[in-house]
RNA sequence: GUCUCCGUAGCUCAGCAGGAUAGAGCACCAGAUUCCUAAUCUGGGGGCCGUGGGUUCGAAUCCCGCCGGGGACACCA
């Protein structure tokens, strides 16, 4: 594969030179060689630790190796100069011509610039959102949705074959409670004489979902079934209606969730239903597999340390020996009523993923599920013992929604939480998505409704969009020339122009490192920096008219700069695409 | 009590799988607009990277202890 990543290219050059200098050295001695931008730009365009890394196995002092390596590298056509530095680094300064030559590379690749092959086509299943189908999505789900979607896009760009998956938790007690709540709205639609409290007193677990969003579901049940499920508008035996109302309600909730996701621009490839998996016996099969491997037993757990639940009692349970795979305690597979625990069903879910042939599993969960990671990884290890498949979990922290400097109170019970639909309506899809990616997923985040719509430098969404719009504005006023990849580029020599080119060439390695770290927020930071470089250049043109992009008196220089602008726009678009944000043509 | 994440400028946060003199934005101070959008930009001050050890050529980064904070801890999902 021909990489467009010049850092990878020069790293290969450095390794080749070292191999030549030290033919005795085993190949794995070069594994830790890095070629990266130095912190201090005055050190040059790239720096490598190659001499430091190789010094020990080569039994030579690093400075001596660095000097020899520098001499070799200095002879390369891409390299202007190379010098040993510090304890054994080699700093490289690239020829400006080589840097400029990256612009046609970018323009020809277009948005494919930065695509990588490190994923090597491995099949990755990215499961995200997976909100319980018990109500509309709120901002908490939203972060997971955006992070997951961007991560999936990122992995795709970096060479994985990605499936975007949603796991519907439609088999547990909460869905049961949802059905009871929907049934209440149904009774209301039929004109029941009961009060809410009277109804709530007689249902298992109480009336848990009181939000108004179930009212339409009650109406829909009425128009579909009349009073057949509650003759005389009186509560009937659940055996008569529960298996009808539950799936009906789940379907209604999922329709709403799909709508919310669509509004966010999130589209999953696969929706997997927990209930269906259970019906298909997937969970039982997975547990049977574990049992065959001697990992399932009947046992009594210690009470949890710290705070013991009031109703705790020692009791034999069906347990999975997850401690053998690094978990803290073994985990129950069956509830006291004999049905599967959520964990047992999720083992089935993962068994199903493995059966579908994925090479890597990635999940995005809320941080409150952090305690669940070890047991799930244990289960996947146990199930994939013959062909290890890694399970990576990305946790997303809480989002605090702020308005006018005050936190917006959220309560699902009271039905006052901020729904995703509200949020999108208020600030727009692109702002929501971009902002959700301006923090590391695992860091708490304040989402300031006022700032996000503010059109100022403080707002990174705006800042990046504005840079793209400016690029487009320039290209439009130049008549959108199409043959910029052939433009002569020698006139691009101003430090600000070269700085922008250097930034652009860092895009491929940014994609790779972000994908490997599973950190899509790095894309947002990169774009912010890139936008900054562009704004700087733009402003130089204010002070120094010879630096303007379009110069009527200098057609060649104009073409060169248009090539630079077009490349910048391309990379911004490419990054925004990963984030799922629409690049704008103008800022009206 | 156990597990887990976190602690970097006054504030909000980056810091790229250990690298050279630790960065950005906001806030603060001083500047730039006959111009392709000043919705932007330039310059400046500001840090014991919570703390004590360890690993090594080299640590904000890796390991251990401590302090401080978030989250999770059978039969919820």
Tens-digit pLDDT profile for residues A25-42: 888 888 888 898 887 777
Of A62, A60, A41, nearest to A50 by C-alpha is A62
Per residue in A150-175, pLDDT (tens digit) is 999 999 999 999 999 999 999 988 89
Distances (CA, A) of A437 to A149, A158, A462: 11, 18, 14
Of A369, A431, A441, A586, nearest to A151 by C-alpha is A441
Q: Which residue has the higher pLDDT, A295 or A86?
A: A295
Give the closest residue to B35 (Cα–C1′): A542
In this prediction, residues A244-255 reach a mean pLDDT of: 95
Q: Which of A252-261, A531-540, A576-585 has the lowest mean pLDDT?
A: A531-540
Per residue in A28-80, pLDDT (tens digit) is 888 888 898 887 777 888 999 999 888 888 888 888 899 999 999 999 999 99
**Rounded-to-10 torsion of CA A162, A427, A532, A159:** 0
User: Which nucleotide is the nearest neighbour of A446, by CA and C1'?
Assistant: B12
Edge-to-edge strand list for the sheet holding A360-366? A270-273, A161-168, A123-127, A360-366, A391-396
On chain B, which bases lie within 7 A of the protein's CB atoms?
1-6, 12-27, 32-33, 35-42, 57-58, 70-77
What is d(CA A15, CA A24) in angstroms, rounded to the nearest whole number?
A: 13
**Could you tell me the two tokens for A520?**
């899509």
What is the three-class DSSP state of A270?
strand
Tell me, what's the pLDDT at A410? Answer: 58
Tell me, what's the pLDDT at A279? Answer: 94
Burial of A4 (0-12, 13-18, 19+ CB in 10 A): buried
Please report which confidence band the pLDDT of residue A287 belongs to, taking 50, 70 and 90 as the band edges: very high
Of A247, A248, A308, nearest to A279 by C-alpha is A247
Please report which confidence band the pLDDT of residue A413 belongs to, taking 50, 70 and 90 as the band edges: very low
What is the three-class DSSP state of A576?
helix
In Å, what is the separation between the CA of A553 and the C1' of B43? 32
User: Which nucleotide is the nearest neighbour of A168, by CA and C1'?
Assistant: B77
Q: Which of A151-165, A409-423, A439-453, A458-472 has the lowest mean pLDDT?
A: A409-423
In Å, what is the separation between the CA of A40 and the C1' of B47? 18
Give the closest residue to B75 (Cα–C1′): A335
Tell me, what's the pLDDT at A414? Answer: 47
**Could you tell me the two tokens for A190?**
């039929």
Tell me, what's the pLDDT at A196? Answer: 93
Per residue in A330-379, pLDDT (tens digit) is 999 999 888 899 999 999 999 999 999 999 999 999 888 888 999 999 99
Tell me, what's the pLDDT at A417? Answer: 61
Percent of chain A with pLDDT over 70: 97
What is d(CA A487, CA A484) in angstroms, rounded to the nearest whole number?
A: 5
List of E strands, A187-346: 270-273, 296-300, 316-320, 331-332
In this prediction, residues A396-418 reach a mean pLDDT of: 67
Tell me, what's the pLDDT at A53? Answer: 87
Q: Which of A95-104, A171-180, A442-451 has the lowest mean pLDDT?
A: A442-451
Strand (E) or helix (H) holding A456: none
Q: Which residue has the higher pLDDT, A41 or A18?
A: A18
For A70-114, the three-class secondary structure string (H helix, E strand, C coil) is HHHHHCCCCEEEEEEECCCEEEEEECHHHHHCHHHHHHHHHHHCC
Does the structure show a pLDDT above 80 at A1?
A: no
Q: Which residues pair with A83 in a beta bridge?
A: A91
Average confidence score pLDDT of chain A: 89
In this prediction, residues A383-396 reach a mean pLDDT of: 91
Tell me, what's the pLDDT at A307? Answer: 66
Per residue in A513-570, pLDDT (tens digit) is 899 889 999 999 999 989 988 988 888 887 778 888 988 888 888 999 999 999 999 9
The ipTM (two decimal places) reads: 0.91
Does the structure show a pLDDT above 80 at A199?
A: yes
What is the three-class DSSP state of A416?
coil
Tell me, what's the pLDDT at A355? Answer: 95
In Å, what is the separation between the CA of A188 and the C1' of B63? 62
Give the closest residue to B37 (Cα–C1′): A470
Please report which confidence band the pLDDT of residue A185 belongs to, taking 50, 70 and 90 as the band edges: very high
What is d(CA A85, CA A89) in angstroms, rounded to the nearest whole number?
A: 5
Of A273, A197, A189, A200, nearest to A227 by C-alpha is A189
Q: Which of A153-162, A265-274, A380-389, A450-459 has the lowest mean pLDDT?
A: A450-459
What is the three-class DSSP state of A238?
helix
Does the structure show a pLDDT above 80 at A234?
A: yes
């Amino acid at each position: 594969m021909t990489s467009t990543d010049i850092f990878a290219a020069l790293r290969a050059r450095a390794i080749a030179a070292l191999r030549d200098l030290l033919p005795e050295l085993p190949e794995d001695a070069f594994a830790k060689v890095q070629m990266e931008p130095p912190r201090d730009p005055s050190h040059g365009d790239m720096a490598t630790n190659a001499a430091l890394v190789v010094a020990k196995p080569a039994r030579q002092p690093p400075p001596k190796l660095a000097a020899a390596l520098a001499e070799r590298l200095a002879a390369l056509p891409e390299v202007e100069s190379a010098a040993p530095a510090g304890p054994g680094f080699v700093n490289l300064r690239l020829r400006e011509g080589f840097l400029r030559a990256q612009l046609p590379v970018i323009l020809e690749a277009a948005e494919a610039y930065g695509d990588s092959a490190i994923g090597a086509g491995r099949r990755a299943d990215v499961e995200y959102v997976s909100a319980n189908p018990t109500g509309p999505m709120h901002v908490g789900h939203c972060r997971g949705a955006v992070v997951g979607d961007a991560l999936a896009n990122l992995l795709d760009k970096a060479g994985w074959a990605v499936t975007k998956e949603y796991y519907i938790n439609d088999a547990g007690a909460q869905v049961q409670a949802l059905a009871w709540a929907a049934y209440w709205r149904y009774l209301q639609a039929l004109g029941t004489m009961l009060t809410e409290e009277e109804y709530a007193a007689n249902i298992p677990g109480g009336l848990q979902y009181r939000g108004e969003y179930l009212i339409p579901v009650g109406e829909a049940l009425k128009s579909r079934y009349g009073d057949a499920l509650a003759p005389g508008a009186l509560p009937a035996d659940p055996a008569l209606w529960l298996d009808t109302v539950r799936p009906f309600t789940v379907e209604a909730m999922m329709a709403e969730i799909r709508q919310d996701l669509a509004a966010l621009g999130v589209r999953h490839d696969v929706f997997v239903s927990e209930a269906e998996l259970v019906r298909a016996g997937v969970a039982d099969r997975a547990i049977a597999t574990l049992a065959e491997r001697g990992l399932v037993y009947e046992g009594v757990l210690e009470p949890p340390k710290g705070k013991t639940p009031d109703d705790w009692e020692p009791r034999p349970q069906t347990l999975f020996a997850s401690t053998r795979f690094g978990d803290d305690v073994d985990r129950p597979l069956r509830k006291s009523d004999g049905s599967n625990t959520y964990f047992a069903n999720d083992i089935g879910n993962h068994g199903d993923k493995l059966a579908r042939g994925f090479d890597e599993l990635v999940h995005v969960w809320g941080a409150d599920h952090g305690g669940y990671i070890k047991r799930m990884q244990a289960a996947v290890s146990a199930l994939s013992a013959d062909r290890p498949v890694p399970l990576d979990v990305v946790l997303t922290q809480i989002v605090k929604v702020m308005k006018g400097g005050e936190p917006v109170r959220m309560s699902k019970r009271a039905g006052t939480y901020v729904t995703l639909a509200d949020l999108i309506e208020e600030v727009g899809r692109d702002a929501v998505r971009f902002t959700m990616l301006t923090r590391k997923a695992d860091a708490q985040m304040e989402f300031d409704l006022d700032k996000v719509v503010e059109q100022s430098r403080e707002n990174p969404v705006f800042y990046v969009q504005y840079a793209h719009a400016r690029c487009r504005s320039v290209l439009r006023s130049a008549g959108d020339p199409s043959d910029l990849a052939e433009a002569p580029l020698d006139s691009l020599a101003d430090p600000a122009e070269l700085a922008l080119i250097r930034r652009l060439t860092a895009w491929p390695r940014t994609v790779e490192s972000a994908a490997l770290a599973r950190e899509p927020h790095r894309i947002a930071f990169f774009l912010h920096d890139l936008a900054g470089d562009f704004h700087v250049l733009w402003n130089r043109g204010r002070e120094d008219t010879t630096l303007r992009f379009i110069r009527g008196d200098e057609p060649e220089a104009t073409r060169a700069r248009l090539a630079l602008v077009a490349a910048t726009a391309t990379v911004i678009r490419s990054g925004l695409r990963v984030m799922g944000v629409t690049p704008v043509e103008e800022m009206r």
